[in-house]
Amino acid sequence: MSLLSIENLSLDIGGTPILKDIDLQIAPGEVLGLVGESGSGKSMTALTVMQLLPEAARARGRVTFDGIDILAAPEDAMCRLRGDDLGMVFQEPMTALNPVKPIGEQVAEGIRWHTGVSRADAEARARAILDRVGLPEAKFPLSRYPHELSGGQRQRVVIAIACALKPKLLIADEPTTALDVVLQAQILDLLRDLVGENRMGLLLISHDLAVVAEMADRVTILRHGAVMESGPTGAVLSARRHPYTRQLAEASTHVPARPRDPSAKPSGPPLLEVRDLTRDYPGRRTGLFQHEKPFRAVDGVSFSLPAGHTAALVGRSGCGKSTLARMILALDRPTAGSVSLMGETLEGKSEAQLRGARRNMQVVFQDPYGSFNPRHRVERLVAEPLHLFDKRPDAGERRERVAQALDDVGLAAADMDKYPHEFSGGQRQRISIARAIITRPKLIVADEPVSALDVSIRAQILDLFADLNQRLGLTYLFITHDLTVARAITDEVMVMDEGRIVERGPTSDVLRHPTTPAAQALVGAAPDLEQALARRLSAERSGSPL
Amino acid sequence: MIAYLIKRIAIGLVTLAVASAVVFCVLEIVPGDPALLMLGMNAEPEALAALRDEMGLNQPVLLRYVDWVSGMMVGDFGRSYTYSSPVIDLIAERVLVSLPLALMALFLSTAIALPVGIFSAARRGKAADTMVMGAAQVGVAIPNFWFALLLIYLFAVWLRLVPAGGFPGWGAGVWPAVKALIMPAVALALPQAAILARVTRSAMLEVLGEDYIRTARAKGMPRRIVLWHHALRNALIPVLTILGLQFAFLLAGTIIIENVFYLPGLGRLVFQAITQRDLIVVEGVMMLLVATVVLVNILVDIGYAIVDPRLRTRR
Amino acid sequence: MSMDPTIPGAPPERGFLRLALANRSFLIGCAITLAVAGLALLSFFWTPYDITHLTVADRLKGLSTNHPLGTDHLGRDILSMIMIGARNSIAVAIVAVLIGMGIGVPLGAWAAARGGLVDEVLMRFNDLVFAFPALLSAIMITAIFGPGALNAIIAIGIFNVPVFARVARAGALSIWPREFILAARAAGKSRTLITIEHILPNITALLLVQGTIQFALGILAEAGLSYLGLGAQPPMPSWGRMLFEAQTRMIVAPHLALFPGLAIVVTVLGLNLLGDGLRDLLDPRLRRER
């Protein structure tokens, strides 16, 4: 007897079909991984079960939870179900809590509503569940407000709200996507424990096969609103019978071909040299004339990068890696220390004096949507860095150069007359790279360049980076929190922690044998698809639960 | 919290100081000699000189500014040129009309607008919402003095329920006085209520789209409770901002409305003082109004801090 | 490749027209605004009657086929007066908006680009101007420097400056942290150039919407000033002045107070609808309703 059963579920919103004939089952105590890329309809499936769909949505089919026909249930019956037998955790912990209410009240509110106990009893129970999710009273009294907590702590509060009444089914929609790997591992552990303690069903929605392989007993793969394949996690993800499953699995562990002799030592002077770089931000004001101690985002960082080299700067969120990247790009002024590119120091120079250096170093950002002015055509967007040449190319030459750059990144020259919103996310990231290479720079700093992309697109963009490294002899500095990116494409890894580089070495060495605690935490927390699958398979074959 | 308040109050004081300089300077460059105005065109030169001396008009500008400001600190706003009585007395008498009027209008406008805005947001897209918001759209476009004329025609000329204007004074009893203020207050309040209702509705709709509303619904809270317990308090932040701005607007609005209804309030006082070149009165009333606006802004800032815990711990 | 649906960005021109035709607020607002502006323009060449010619025999007439909106106490045709009054209202409000935009937008954009002390000083200046009740100060300015359309324009315009400065600054501040601005900085562009190329085009929608709002408020303010006798001076007719003259004659000729008021309401309503429609059309991010 399954806890949740979805049969032939179809959904359209305002006439646009979103889901087509979805089938899935979850038994009590079972973890089902619902996998798919953006736009595949995973979140809408979850919201259908919760009956929290947008008003224009129309659902057909059967959704049965614990014997109740969800699609036919009246609103007050759903209100009794939600937060009691049916809990939900969302992706974005920063906005999921009401900013004007203390966390205790937000947890206790649902308890009081469903059980009718007194305020004091509800608060006692809220206290207990907050303790359980790892927010002990000493540091996290009920009177704390959401803005006083970090993202990981807030996600724990959301989990506490969802699990306060020991639901039979918990739906977790990308619960760790907004968190760094270390926090992700902690939250996943917590979810796994809660499932075990209460024999709770868990519908885990994720785009990350490795996370699903570690967590889920069974997996359902969704694409364009339809189920592609489903079955036991280990079997489905290792046999890869369905072509889409194979495509997803291969893309997640994709390593671009880089025919390069690892023993070849780069020679000559370093391309980029960073010396004792430090950046302080003024502390919060605590009184009229008092400030907290300045916050040191980057603390005495030194390293050098030879030409043609590919390095990754990895670390948890808030470790200072983005600040460091901005100082290297001369977009932020260091408090102390120096950056030099091809022997030329950058700090203390005016914008005009920096033109030469800027020609030789360009940047690719994370967000393929935010990195273009939506009102300009591609030609103008890609040509923007040509501003750095003392002799500006004329219109014809400009178009020629843009066409060349677009060709380099695998787009057509005709694309230059379109607007950015006419392109998909992956194509936009290509445009972003075209803009970065149009001045034929030596160094590209890429700040999380594939984090916002779906796995299959991400593999293609990584291939493009590898290809350009070969053809144009580019040097890369990748800023990333994702070790798979570092593993896929870089020669060298620098691990950053609290503003310092704590460990540095060849990528394979550092990822295999991290020596410092910060690096060990990162590597240990990173989900690994191959290892997780191996464990799953052996468990599935022996028939014992993991 | 304390630091936040101190900063707000400090900004308010600086604003007041600069405002006093601006008011003083503007009126300083105004053409026309107050002494000449008081004595009339064919005044004796000696009398004129004596009066100028007595009024302190021969002293350096800076000294007169300092005198004026330090006088105001102890409640001495100077003597009116035309009424020949202390400005503070004139103001005190007129405040008793203008302040109740502005407060009544503010109360009316809030009491109408908040429920209407919330109701409309809860029924977004339904017929009731469309009608109420259509009415608000028209209400925003109505000049309050024209609305006042319509009210006068309807209730005073046609139905003869209330007097068309004038003020019996508080000495005539509370009810007659309040009665004389009802129609002006309604005329002031309704166009403001239309604005406030629109702001309330859009603030509510914005909040209702937030993630934490979904979280509250996911824990089983019904729509009604989410609306009142979760959405309203967050939506109050922009509503407070508009309320603060509206109080300043209502104060200024009284100047026209008092003229329409012949009410002896601050608005009429300052208007007459301007036309009679009674600059010391103008200066005093302006400073009083600026101080009120500054005070209201500080109250709004305190309101923010009460509603929003993030402000209590920041700065 | 499966990726996101297209997100709202710059609408291509053809789609814009289609959206515009489907937006009721925009259409009605446009129609009203164009009609009022058309009547005002027409009044330069033709009005039903010559309002400088007083026919005392025709004074205080009600509605008739000769005078569709009646006549005033001097026998002047109300419709003609309203048409010419529209000229005055529109001119004062538009020039006041232009003054506000012309000074406020550069100030706001400058403050956002520079930050720090410049920004702080500008914001304090804004607080200062906001501390003066706008209408009251406008009354003071016009009363002291003499009544008339020009001083009304200046008085209303001054109080538009901080409004536009604030809107431009807030808009610019929301654009500055975006990645395309960082990319432009990495391309070596100066803050001024970035403001011109990237910031201003992306806040035009905001400014246009605010422009229609201030236009509407300007018409209301001008009406208030001329009601008090501080706007355009006779014989130039103005809607506010017409209402003032109507007030004492309300018992005998209530229609005198009706039509100038309706003219104000319709004009302001049209502009507000136009602003709402523009906001929906130009910048989906500004749309409050989801």
Residue spans of beta strands (DSSP E) within C123-273: none
Give the residue ranges of DSSP H helices in A53-100: 75-81
* Three-class SS of C85-121: HHHHHHHHHHHHHHHHHHHHHHHHHHHHHHCHHHHHH
Could you give the CA distance from residue A116 to residue A123 in angstroms, rounded to a whole number?
Answer: 12
For residues B292 and C97, give the distance between their C-alpha atoms in angstroms, rounded to a whole number.
Answer: 27
Closest to A331 measured CA to CA, from A313, A317, A349: A349
**Closest to C267 measured CA to CA, from C230, C201, C198, C220:** C220
Give pLDDT, residue A225.
92
Domain extent at residue C158 = 25-39+77-289
| CB burial string A373-403: b at 16+ within 10 A, e below | bbebbbbebbbbbbbbeeeeeeeeebbebbb
Using a CB–CB cutoff of 8 Å, tell me whether C250 touches chain B. yes
Distance between CA atoms of A327 and B238, rounded to whole angstroms? 37
> Both tokens of residue A68?
């109740």
Closest partner residue to A161 (CB to CB) among B7, B215, B309 is B215
Query: What gap in Å lies between CA A460 and CA A437, rounded to an integer?
Result: 18
What per-residue confidence (pLDDT) applies to C237? 87
Superfamily of domain A1-85+170-252+528-546: P-loop containing nucleotide triphosphate hydrolases (3.40.50.300)
Average pLDDT for C100-108: 95
Provide the pairing of β-strand A31-35 with A218-223. Answer: parallel
- The predicted-structure confidence for C162-219, as pLDDT tens digits, reads as follows 999 999 999 999 899 888 998 999 888 889 999 999 999 889 888 988 999 899 999 9
Distance CA B30, CA C144 (A): 7
Report pLDDT for A285. Answer: 62
- In B, which residues are within 8 Å of C290 by CB distance? 205, 209
Angle between helices A119-132 and A103-115 (to 10 degrees): 120
Which band of pLDDT confidence, cut at 50, 70 and 90, is reported for residue C9?
very low
Give the DSSP H or E segment for B103. Answer: helix B87-122
Residues with Cβ within 8 Å of residue A452, at least 6 apart in sequence: A366, A367, A368, A369, A425
Our CA-based measurement puts residue B275 at a distance from the nearest CA of chain A, in whole angstroms, of 45
* A133: Cα within 13 Å, side-chain hemisphere: 24
Q: How would you classify the pairing of strands A500-506 and A492-497? A: antiparallel
For C272, the closest of B141, B245, B251 (CB atoms) is B141
Looking at residue A40, what DSSP letter applies?
Answer: S
Chains contacting A (3+ CB pairs below 8 angstroms): B, C
Q: Which residues in chain A are contacts of C187 at CB distance < 8 A?
A: 358, 384-385, 387-388
User: Dihedral (C-alpha) B75, B79, B82, B85: value to the nearest 10 degrees?
Assistant: 70
At residue A484, the pLDDT reads 85
Q: Which residues of chain B have pLDDT under 70?
A: 1, 31-34, 37-41, 313-315
- Domain boundaries, given as residue ranges, for chain A: 1-85+170-252+528-546, 94-166, 271-513
Residues of C in contact with A40 (CB under 8 A): 2
**Helix%, strand%, coil% for chain A, nearest 5:** 40, 25, 35
pLDDT at position B41 is 67
Residue C54 in any domain: the answer is: no
Average pLDDT, chain C: 83
The CA distance from B225 to the nearest CA of chain C, in Å, is 21
Q: Which strand (E) or helix (H) includes residue A61?
A: strand A57-65
> What is the DSSP code string of A306-372?
-TT-EEEEEE-TTSSHHHHHHHHTTSS--SEEEEEETTEE-TT--TTTTHHHHHHEEEE-S-TTTTS
For A419, the token pair is: 């607007």
Residues of chain C neighbouring B143 (CB-CB closer than 8 A): 220, 223-224, 261, 264-265, 268
d(CA A537, CA A546) in angstroms, rounded, equals: 10
pLDDT of residue A348: 81
Tokens for B190? 């309704």
Interface touch C180/A371, C-beta < 8 Å: yes
The tally of CA atoms less than 13 A away on the side-chain side of residue B113 is 33
Provide the ipTM. 0.84
- Residue pairs between chains A and C whose CB atoms are closer than 8 Å: 92
Per-residue CA distances from A12 to A23, A35, C3 (Å): 16, 20, 19
pLDDT at position A264 is: 52
Cβ–Cβ < 8 Å for A361, A441: yes
Q: Which member of A421, A432, A435 has the closest CB to residue C9?
A: A421
- Distance from the first to the final alpha carbon of chain A: 21
Closest-CA residue to A341 (of A443, A491, A265, A435): A443
Q: Coil, helix or strand for A430?
A: helix
CA distance B297 to C229: 31
Residue C261 located in a structural domain: yes
Q: Tens of pLDDT along A403-435?
A: 999 999 999 999 999 988 888 888 999 999 999
| φ/ψ (deg, to 5) at C228 | -80, 0
Say whether domain A271-513 belongs to CATH 3.40.50.300: yes
Query: DSSP code of A266?
Result: P
CB contact under 8 A, C3 and A366: no
Contacts of residue A143, defined as CB under 8 A and 6 or more positions apart, other chains included, come to: A102, A104
3-state secondary structure of A493: strand
Q: A24: which strand partners? A: A6
Interchain proximity B140–C268, CB inside 8 Å: yes
Low-confidence winner among B46-55, B260-269, C41-50, C85-94 (lowest mean pLDDT): B46-55
Please indicate if any CB of chain B lies within 8 Å of the CB of A87.
yes
CB contact at 8 A, A344 and A356: yes
Tokens found for residue B18: 């600069």
Amino acid found at B137: Q
Question: With contacts defined as CB-CB under 8 Å, which chain B residues touch C264?
Answer: 141-143, 146
3-state secondary structure of A34: strand
Tokens matching residue B214: 């979904």
The stretch C144-150 carries a mean pLDDT of 82
CATH code of the domain in which C96 resides: 1.10.3720.10
Task: Kindly state whether residue C52 falls inside one of the protein's structural domains.
Answer: no
Q: How many domains does chain C have?
A: 1
CA distance A142 to A144: 6
Q: What are phi and psi of A47, to 5 degrees?
A: -70, -25
* d(CA B17, nearest CA chain A) in Å: 20
Q: Domains of chain B by range and CATH? A: 89-313 (1.10.3720.10)
Q: What is the pLDDT along chain A (546 residues), one digit of tens a residue?
A: 689 999 999 999 888 899 999 999 999 999 999 999 888 899 999 999 999 998 888 999 999 999 999 999 999 999 999 999 999 999 889 899 999 999 999 999 999 999 999 999 999 999 999 999 999 998 899 999 998 898 899 999 999 999 999 999 999 999 998 888 888 999 999 999 999 988 999 999 999 999 999 999 999 999 999 999 999 999 999 999 999 999 999 888 888 887 655 545 556 678 999 999 999 988 666 555 666 778 888 999 999 999 888 999 999 888 889 899 999 999 888 999 999 998 888 888 888 888 889 999 999 988 777 888 888 899 999 999 998 888 888 889 999 999 999 999 999 999 999 988 888 888 999 999 999 999 999 999 999 888 888 888 889 999 999 999 888 888 999 999 888 888 888 899 999 998 999 999 999 899 999 999 999 999 988 888 888 899 888 888 876 655
- Cβ pair A165, A110 in contact under 8 A: yes
Distance, in Å, from the CA atom of A521 to the CA atom of C282, rounded to the nearest integer, reads 48
Which strands make up the sheet holding A169-173, listed edge to edge? A86-89, A169-173, A201-206, A31-35, A218-223, A226-232
Write out chain A residues lying below 8 Å of C183, CB-based. 363, 365, 371-372, 384, 432, 435
pLDDT in tens, B146-167: 999 999 888 887 888 777 778 8
The model carries a pTM of: 0.85
pLDDT at residue A260, rounded to an integer: 59
- Write the DSSP symbol of residue C279: H
Q: Which of A97, A101, A113 sits opposite B220 (nearest CB)?
A: A113
Tokens representing residue A228 in the block? 């592609």
* Inter-residue contact A354 to A385 (CB < 8 Å): no
- C254 at the A interface (CB within 8 A)? no
Amino acid found at A474: L
* DSSP H or E segment with residue A297: strand A295-305
Q: How far apart are CA A5 and CA C162, in angstroms?
A: 59
Distance CA B230, CA B222 (A): 11
Contact C87, C95 (CB under 8 A): no
Longest distance between any two alpha carbons in chain C, whole Å: 82
pLDDT at B254: 81
B69, B20 Cβ separation under 8 angstroms: yes
Quick check: A478 and A490 in contact, CB under 8 A? yes
Q: Is the pLDDT of residue C5 over 60?
A: no
